[in-house]
Amino acid sequence: MARLLNVSRSGYYEYRKRCRSRVLTPAAQRRADLAVKIVAHHRESDGTYGAPRITADLREAGEKVTEKTVAKIMAS
């Protein structure tokens, strides 16, 4: 393939690696979506809600999420 495109083999594979890294996996996309919701809940509570309360709110809204996941996202 590299010869067909008239580029070096290492350059071709480096390009492929960069392209793949831009696409989020379904798990990464879900985590990013959860992060947005978690930040919104945290701001709405003026920073008083922690992982247990935010988890409860998300579950009431229909999200399947654990307290540990919420805590990890909040810590990052």
pLDDT at position 25 is 80
Q: Which two tokens stand for residue 48?
A: 């008083």
Asked if 70 and 51 count as a contact pair (C-beta separation under 8 A), the reply is yes
pLDDT tens for residues 10-59? Answer: 877 787 777 766 777 888 889 989 999 999 999 899 999 999 999 999 99
Long-range contacts of 39-44 (CB under 8 A, 24+ apart): 42/74
Neighbours of 51 (CB within 10 A): 19
Q: How confident is the model at residue 5 (pLDDT cuts 50, 70, 90)?
A: low
Alpha-carbon gap, residue 68 to 51, rounded angstroms = 8
- Asked whether residue 5 is assigned to any structural domain, the reply reads no
pLDDT at position 59 is 97
Give the residue numbers spanning the domain of 57: 24-76
pTM greater than the 0.75 cutoff: no
Asked if 75 and 64 count as a contact pair (C-beta separation under 8 A), the reply is no
Total domain count, the chain? 1
Q: How confident is the model at residue 64 (pLDDT cuts 50, 70, 90)?
A: very high
- Asked whether residue 9 is assigned to any structural domain, the reply reads no
- Asked whether residue 61 is assigned to any structural domain, the reply reads yes
